[in-house]
Amino acid sequence: MGRMKRSGPTFTSKVKDMQMFFGLNVTGVLDVDTVEVMKSPRCGVPDVEEYSHIQPTRWNKNVITYSIGRYTRDLPRSTVDSLVESAFSIWARASGLTFVKSNTRNADIMVEFVTYAHGDLYPFDGPSGTLAHAFGPGSGVGGDTHFDDDEHWTAGGTGFNLFVVAAHEFGHALGLKHSRNPDSLMYPTYKSSHPANLLSREDVANINTLYSRARGRQSHFPRYDWSSQYNQWMSGSLFPRLLQNKCSPDMTFDAVSTLGDATFFFRERYLWIKHNEQFDIKEGPITNFMPKIETSIDAAFWVPRRSTAYLIHESMFWTVKGSLVKGKPRALSHFGFPVWVQEVDAAVHIVKTGRTLFFMHDIYWSYNENRRVMDFGYPKYINEDFPGINSTINAAVYKDGFIYFFLGPQVYKYDYTQKLVVAVEKANSWLGC
């Protein structure tokens, strides 16, 4: 189990610890306020242990496997898979850790939906009360995460949002303790409303203290600070290095989109602009061309009849008309996504159908640009509707009646009417490599 039984403090001192943690009057007595906190839906990682300041443990590796054993009856398996993957990706983005889904029972983190006594000495209690619990890193049950299947698990605002609860529990599975800060994802009690960015600054700082960024994965380029006052000074001196890199054999793009008569290629905070009728390529930090955008871009698409591009970063997007960024970024939910969708991998607008397709992991949505609503029956599986596209899509662009899917360092030319891959080439061949 990795949890030693020990002769602990008295009941009164445990109650005092709990009252102190939640900022209640420290009396050692189960008064109304204390009982109310105890009854609220919350994480079941044994609380009093969490109120002490035990040194947290961590995984001694950066690639962590997980597997889902028993699923809930409340949601389709594909939805559970996506919600769990999204919850892990919250921590992946903050820490540089990589999470890989495994189909074996030997994964580091086993995810299970169970009820009452389920073999780990911490039985669940039926509807409400304890929602889930997770064990800290370690062998055996270390990292394992259990959800009470007597709760009503949802992907939206009713019942208990699986994405939010899973993200909290995976924090424990990575070694984080409960936080006293109500804005923290690691606060013990469940809140039905939550911000677009689930992690507070404290959460990000804590996961990075535990898993130093220096141990994380290396980017193809060093990450430069493109703060606007230095852009013009830095970009000139960095060009030679980046020009070499664009032709490296493993070059990938985060997003690709046409904008007017040009094609934009986004990579981290850098941008290449290729004008369709010219051979020269403009390049530099994104802020050189769009000073309002100081982040990377995850997905981008162009709607020609509006002469408008949409640039997406995590749960927000910018609208670009001409070469100008219009107004402030807006929430991705504007397109009608369910609340658990906090990012997309790629997006592409199909002029022929008037639809914009949004891709995330192994599923995709279809958005009707005329009616400005999501089409009914989505999400659907990518590999069922796009045979031959079998891995995560980094970027997508529609040109001359074909969709071009960027998968890692390759680009697949896809015939949308015949549902067929008709050619494969290197992604950076588009930049003259």
* Residues paired with 392 in a beta bridge: none
For residues 209 and 223, is the Cβ–Cβ distance under 8 A?
no
> What's the confidence (pLDDT) of residue 4?
30
Any binding-site annotation on 146?
A: yes
Any binding-site annotation on 186?
A: yes
Report which listed range, 134-138, 248-252, 274-278, 346-350, is most confident: 346-350
Q: Given pLDDT bands bounded at 50, 70 and 90, which one contains residue 21? A: low
Tokens of 43: 């994480």
Is the per-residue pLDDT at 45 higher than 70? no
Asked whether the domain spanning 228-431 has the same topology as the one spanning 40-215, the reply is no
Cα distance between residue 82 and residue 217, in whole Å: 23
Q: Which CATH class is domain 228-431?
A: mainly beta
Backbone angles phi, psi at 317, to 5 degrees: -140, 150
Higher pLDDT residue, 143 or 366?
366
Catalytic residue among 50, 169, 283, 369: 169
Question: What are the tens digits of pLDDT across the range 188-245?
Answer: 777 766 666 788 888 888 888 888 743 433 322 222 222 222 222 222 223 333 443 7
Report which listed range, 25-34, 236-245, 381-390, is most confident: 381-390
> What's the confidence (pLDDT) of residue 15?
61
Any binding-site annotation on 31?
A: no
Any binding-site annotation on 254?
A: yes
Higher pLDDT residue, 220 or 58?
58
For residues 253 and 406, is the Cβ–Cβ distance under 8 A?
yes
> What's the confidence (pLDDT) of residue 9?
46
Question: What are the tens digits of pLDDT across the range 108-146?
Answer: 999 999 988 877 767 888 887 788 888 888 877 788 889
What are the percentages of helix, strand and coil residues in the chain, rounded to 5?
Answer: 25, 30, 45
In the chain, the percentage of residues whose pLDDT exceeds 90 is 27
Any binding-site annotation on 298?
A: yes
User: Known catalytic residue: 169?
Assistant: yes
Q: What is the pTM of this model?
A: 0.48
For residues 256 and 421, is the Cβ–Cβ distance under 8 A?
no
Q: Where do the domains of the chain lie?
A: 40-215, 228-431
Any binding-site annotation on 81?
A: no
The CATH H-level superfamily of 40-215 is: Collagenase (Catalytic Domain) (3.40.390.10)
Any binding-site annotation on 87?
A: no
